[in-house]
Structures are given as structure tokens and as C-alpha cells.
Structure 1
Amino acid sequence: MTKFNKTLLAAAVALASTQTFAAGFQLNSQSATGLGRAMAGDAIIADNASVLARNPAAMALFDEKALSIGATYADVNVEVTDAQFLGQDLGSIDNAAEGKFIPNAYYINPVNEQFAFGFAAFSNFGTGADLTPLTEVEGTISPVDLLGNTEVATINLNASMSYRINDALSLGLGIDLIQGSGKLSRGSLVEVEADGWAVGGIVGLAYEINENHRLGLSYRISPEMQASGDIMYLGTEFEDINIPLADIAQLAGYHQLTEKFAIHYTAQWSQWSSFDSITLENPSSPEQILKDYHWKDSWFLSLGATYDINDRWTVRAGIASDKGVVDEQSSLSIPDSDRIWYSAGFSYNFSEKSSIDFGYTLVVGEKVHVEEKNAILLPIDAYTESGANYFSIQYNYTF
């Protein structure tokens, strides 16, 4: 069976007190340019090769080979306060997450006026949190099946092509090979360590109204995944774990209003309502539901602007609303909330061929009250608040 760390990531979310800082467990941090404008218009602006992460059809807008290489540092802050279990105070955690570096690289090669192809490496998913301090308060009993340590990372390797139909319309499609690795521990109850690969895909279109106005649309397909690995739960080893993942659609627009000033926007929809339950399988036993969830679809809406100061300097800014996925059934294992993004960035052009981008985003999440019952239906409740500072740098070259 295919092994897939996206699946392991979902398993970690299902089994653990995992904190993330975007809806579900998505990472909207594929480029420094995008982070400088809250990812607004990223599926159609095509100011460098990083557009490949959002819309393969936008490669048709390039008439030269393009290369972009960058990295983002995600300084994630997760606070857990007033944790209570059986009338006991389990304490608080100032920061349950660690900062992570998220690299990326993109290459676009136009073959002729109609056809282009490209390759990319970036991350769409990742999370990590350590809530074991809540199990270590002297003189208390804690729900160890809900508290522990989780580390997960994924890398998306993409190959795409685009084809220009006419002066206005271009189409694109791509295939994603996703490699991931992760660890999960919950005392002696849960131990998971696995890595693997799986296949996904993306389709897109780019529509050029005229030279100053264009629209982009893309759809990323995320089928249900079945993974194999070292999976132990409540003393039983399992061979396979099944996770439904969200498809992602986005609409983006770009409008050059003056010679120096442009606005752009994105509406991203994620089908998190498909994330209904996590199941485990063994060949000799029936499927077991590990945990049920009742998530809702989410929206990420962003608006940004770009201003060319001169031939050397470009500045950009953006704001975004990131809706959480948790519906009526709250859970300490998924303490999601609505978040606001505040972004700013700039580019410096060394020449007509090369440039460097810097981007910064502050993610501010709401403080939420979370209650969850453990395996024997005893509730733990706490307040959680999560956010992040993104710092990103990227080098771009055309040739």
C-alpha cells in the first residue's frame, strides 16, 4: 500500500493535541513574494516562478525560463492555558510549538508560444506540538491519551505543463509526488513513526482579459489516502490507516490599475467537510474507526496591493481572513480558530534578470475554549491561542 505523510499528518491530528496555525493543517507559505501580500493573487500574478505552486496554467504567461529558490521560517506560537481535568489544574504552556524552516524551489521552461513545462518543490502541510508538560504536573492525573508530542513534515514534488489555447485562455495540469515523515507518541498508548510517498494532482486555467487584467483558477485534488507504517494504538499494531483529505480550489485576480500600482485577491476554498473519520485496518480484522470528526469547509480570503517605486524597488502588502474548520464538535486535539493575516514585503531588482524578495506575515488567532473527552469519556478543557510570524526570502532569475 502507498505510504504517505499527509496521512501521517492527519493521524497525528486525530490522535494528538496538535496545534496548527492555518485552517486544518495547510501551510500557505510557498513563497516570499506571496507572503508579502498575504498570498493574494498568487495563482495568476506570475511575477516569478513560484506561481507554479498555485496554478500550472500561469506558466503560459512566461516567455523566458524562470527560476525561484527560497525559504520561509515559521515562528509558531501556541499557548495553552487553564487546562482542567477532574477538577485538577494541569497548568499552562507558554509555547507548545517549535519554529520550522520551509524551503521551496521552482523552475519554468517555455518551449514555444503554446507550450511550457515546470518543476517545483515546496510544502503544503506540516505541524508540530508538544503538550507533554500538561502530563507532568506533580500530584495530578492527566488524560495521557490526549496529550503528547507530534512532529510532521511534508515535501511536495510537482511536475506540470501548460498549453495556451488562444490569446486569452491557457490551461494547465500537474502531478504531485508527496514525501513525508513524522513521529507521534502518547505515553505507552500510541507510538507512530513512518514515512512514505503518495500521488496527487492539480488542474488550472489562466484567463487574460487584457494586458492589465487577468484571472486564475485552480483545483488541487487530494483523494483519500491509505498508509502503512509502524502504527501502534492501545497495544495493537495496525498495518494501514485511512485518511480523507480536503480538495482545494482557488480563484485569483490581478489588476494593474496604473503603471506602478496593482491590486490582487484570492478566494481559496478547502473541502475539509470530507475529513469525517480516521480508520485503522488489519487484514484479519474489520475496519476500526479511530476517531470521528465533523469538520466544515473553510475559506481563505485575501486582498493585496503592489507598488513599483522605481526600476529597482517594489513594495507589497496584504491582509487575509483564514476561517477555522472545527464545527460544533470542539476538540483539544484540533484547537482551530479563525485567524487574520497581516503581510508586507518588498523586492529588489539587481538587474532585469535577477531579483530578491522578502516577505513577512503576522498570523493572529482567536483565543478559544476547547473541551474534549478522553477514551473513558472524562472531559478535559482548556483555552488555546495560536499564531505565527513568517519570515521569508527568495531569489529569482530569468534566462
Structure 2
Amino acid sequence: MRRTRALRNLRLACAGAAGAVILLTSSALMSEAQAGAFGLRDQSAYGEGLAFAGMAAGGSLSSMFWNPATLSAVMGFQTETSATFVAPRASIDVLSPFTSNEGDVVANAALVSGYDAYRINDRVVLGLAITEPFGMRSKYDFGSELRNQGIAGTSSITTFNINPMLSVDLTDWLSVGAGFQAQYLDIRYTGVGASLGQLSVPGVPLPLSLGANASLDGDSWAYGYNVGVLLKPREGTEIGIGYRSGLKYSIDSKLTGSVTGSLLGQSLLTVPLDLDATAKLETPAKLSVGVRQAITDRWRVMGGVEWDQWSRFKQVSVQAKDKVAVSGVGEITVPEQDIVFGYDDGWFFSGGTEYDVSPKWTLRAGVAYELSPVGNSARQFRLPDVDRVSGSAGFTYKACERCLIDASYAYVAGVGDDHVQSSSGAVRGEVNADAHIVSLGFRYRFGGTPTGSHAN
């Protein structure tokens, strides 16, 4: 009987993971909810209501994204799914050398994440997270002056992360966790010529450059790990530290468009381009620290700090594998070129609180401030990211003995320096950005003893 129940619960947990895969696949092309550069922090409807304060110290099953050691709170089988809708706005006033107003360069987006966990004995818990840690898409219409001038085009990065993990309770106050990351990344970058600049080709006297229509497309997998520790120094206090490793990509890509040659401002040749290429980039590591403190049996406060190592993302290096036939010159090798980003490390600070109004209802709220990794010199029209402040609120409703429903709303506003420029610095403007975020989540416990609405 016990074996039959366990098998049924395992099938339900696997079904939850499969559902998350389907939802993530359907939403992958729309992901734009950003958390500094093209990072995505919106991995939890529960956490959204707290401005993600204290997520590395637990609170819901989705806390495993920040810290795998938080799995230690799991009893029996548990599953959680979150769906987030983001309505961002990023309009740009171009100030020089021409004056224009670019409307929204980003579109509405959807983001879905899924989590499953199973306690196999008194000390060990297995978990699985399926998320989208990174994503970005900006687009300038064909009538845009910035697009026509080859300054900005369509930029898109999509990821899909599969992260099995486990936690081990070493003592009643100390748990550790670790996991393996397999992450898929797809990149599309149009108008890449302006970012790469002139091509320095040995033996070719004519200055060459990629045309404004040049595009880079490709995808690849990369692998990494995540680790964490959870401390409970006294009753009601939880301190968590989690680390997600950075990932290195070598992306099989297509470089298409044209190569142009000009002398004294006069175009002398245009050669079609359709080459296999390799694009190399690194995504940042993340360190999260969270604290949860129970003030009373019904009231809890949280705080968190996150560090994202965006300084790893200095450039995307592009190396063509094939040669280009140029009339009158012969076949030439396109040298390795860099799309320079030059980001700094990013920081995120948050505080939040939640209160159990009744056994069925919990209310929460949070505030956060983020230092963008995109500094003044690195802020370009493709990704006009700025520092931001956010406020959020949400609730949990205990719909049945083993099921919880989470709902949250957040408003994010750009603050600080808002100047933006082209890669050459010749075109300048100002960016106005904000976002409205709505998130819904569902949590279900297949086994173990159900508790209040704030339980994992």
C-alpha cells in the first residue's frame, strides 16, 4: 500500500515537472522580465510579493533557485509552479545628432518556472528546478532612425535551465545543498555590423566592415553547479547563503548579411555573407544571502543581498569558420571580432515582511533597490538598463489542506543616470523605463504534515 502511494506521488511529481517544461518551452521566446542587464529574478510568485527578500533562507519551495539547502524544509512530495506576466516600458529620447523619440523598445513578456522535491529519508531531500535565469529582447521598428542608421536592431537572448539538486541535514541547525545546472541559450543579434566596427583583414588594402544588415544567430548548451548552506542558530531564525556558478558558452552560430568595402566615404563593393561562426560568451555567477526572522508566531521579517558577477560579461567574441570570396582580392578570412559590453558587477538589496492574518491567509510586502551592472559608458540603445527601485505586495491563500495559491504585484521604476549612447558614442539619448509585474503561483504538498499558509 505504501509503495503504491509512493509510486503515485512520484508520477504526480514527474507530471508537475513535465508541465513546467511545456510551459517554459511555450514562453521562452517572450521572456524579458529583467533583473539587471538580462538576468531574470522573477522565478517565484511567493518571492515576488516580498521583493525577493530572504529567498536564500527559504519560505517556499522556489527558494531552491537561490539556495539548494532550503530543500531541507520539504516533507514528502512537493511541487510549485509560478507564472509571471511583465509589462515593461523603455522609451528613448534621442538627443543628438538627430532628434527623435523611440517608443517602447521592449514588449510584454511571460515567464514560467517549476519546482519539484521529494524527501527520501530523515536527512536527504531531492529537488528539481526548471527555470529561465536569463532572457532579453529589444526591438527597433524598420522605420526607426536608430535602426536605419545601423545603431540598434533586434537583440534576443533566451535560456532554459534544468537544475537537479539535493540537500542534506547535517544537524538540526545546519543543512547543505548542491546541484547540477544544464542550461540552453539561444542568441539573436541583428545589425551586428555597427557593434563590431571595421574588420582588419591582413593583406587587404581596402577598409572592410560588416554591413548594417549583418546578423548573428546561434544556440548552445553549457553546464555548471550551485551550492548552498542554511543555518538555524535559534528558533525562528534562518540564515541562508547560495551560489550559482557562471557558465561559459561556445555557440555554433550563423553570421549573415554582407561585407562592405569603402574608401574616402565611397562604397566600392558589397559581398553577401553567410558564414558558420563561433560566438563565445559567459553568463554571470550569483551569490545570494538571505535572512528570515520570526517576530511572533504570525509575523516574520526578511532581508536579502544578491551579487551578480556581470563583470564576466565583457564581450561576445565572434569567430567566422568560413572564408569570404571578395572580387579582385580572393578569399579572405574574417578575423575574430568582439561585440563589447563591458559590464560591471551588479548588486541587489531587499527587505520584506509577511503576516498570517488567519490560518488561511498570509499577506506580504517588500521593497528593493538594484545597482545595475550597466554603467554609463556601457549603456547602449540595445539594452538601456538603469538602476531601479521596486515595491511589491502579495498574498497566500490556503485553498485546501495541502494546496496554497500565491499572488503578487510589483512595480519597478528606473532611477539615477539615464543617459544612453551608441557604441561609437556619436549618438546620445535618454531612457525612461519602468515595469508592472503580476505573478501567480500554485504549491501542492503530496505527503508530510500540512501546516500554515506560510509553510514551504
What is the CA distance between 1:244 and its match in structure 2?
Answer: 2.5
Aligned-partner Cα distance in 2 for 1:330–1:121 = 31
Structure 2 length normalisation: TM-score?
Answer: 0.76
| Letter aligned with residue 212 of structure 1 | G
Structure with higher helix content: 2
Alignment pair present for 1:108 and 2:108: no
Counterpart residue number, 1:67 = 79
Pair 392,290 (structure 1): closer, same or farther in 2 beyond 3 Å = same
Q: What is the rounded CA distance, in whole Å, between the counterparts of 2:182 and 2:247 in structure 1? A: 13
What SS class does the counterpart of residue 224 from structure 1 fall into?
Answer: strand
Q: Count residues in correspondence.
A: 370
Q: How does 1:1-399 map to 2 (within 5 A)?
A: 21-46=34-59, 48-85=60-97, 88-89=98-99, 91-132=100-141, 135-136=144-145, 142-144=148-150, 146-186=151-191, 188-232=212-256, 235=259, 237-282=275-320, 288-327=336-375, 329-332=377-380, 333-366=382-415, 368-374=418-424, 379-399=426-446
The structure with more radius of gyration: 2
Distance 1:41 1:20, change over 3 A: closer
Q: Which amino acid aligns with 2:420?
A: V
Long gaps (5+) in structure 1: 1-18
User: Can you list the C-alpha shifts for 1:152-207, whole angstroms capped at 9, x where unaligned?
Assistant: 32221110011111111111111112123343322853223333322122111111
CA contact (8 A) 1:21 1:387 kept: no
Q: Give % identity.
A: 24
Contact 2:352–2:367 (CA under 8 A) maintained in structure 1: yes
Q: 1:287 to 1:210 in 2, by over 3 A?
A: farther
The structure with higher relative contact order (CA 8 Å, sep 6+) is 1
Deviations 1:85-144 (A, max 9, x none): 3xx22x21231111111111110101111111011111111111112356359xxx9531
Unpaired segments ≥5 residues, structure 2: 1-31, 192-210, 260-272, 323-332, 447-456
Pair 1:129–1:255, CA change in 2 (3 A): same
Q: Does structure 2 conserve the Cα–Cα contact (< 8 Å) formed by 1:271 and 1:297?
A: yes
Amino acid at match of 1:223: L
- The verdict on how the C-alpha distance between 1:193 and 1:291 changes in structure 2, with shifts beyond 3 A counting, is closer
Please report the RMSD computed on the Cα atoms of aligned residues, expressed in angstroms.
2.2
Answer yes or no: is the 8 Å Cα contact 1:21–1:386 preserved in 2: no
Tell me by how many angstroms 1:231 deviates: 2.8
> CA separation of 1:385/1:321 partners in 2, compared to 1, >3 Å: closer, same or farther?
same
8 Å Cα contact 1:243-1:277 kept in structure 2 = yes
Change in Cα spacing, 1:61 to 1:32, as seen in structure 2 (3 Å) is same
Q: Is the 8 A contact 1:21 1:363 kept in 2?
A: no
- In 1, distance between residues paired with 2:95 and 2:152? 11
Task: Please give the alpha-carbon distance, in whole angstroms, between the structure 2 residues aligned to 1:338 and 1:24.
Answer: 10
The range that moved more, 354-363 or 206-215, is: 206-215
User: What is the distance in 1 between the residues matched to 2:156 and 2:313?
Assistant: 20
1:117–1:287 Cα change, 3 Å:
farther
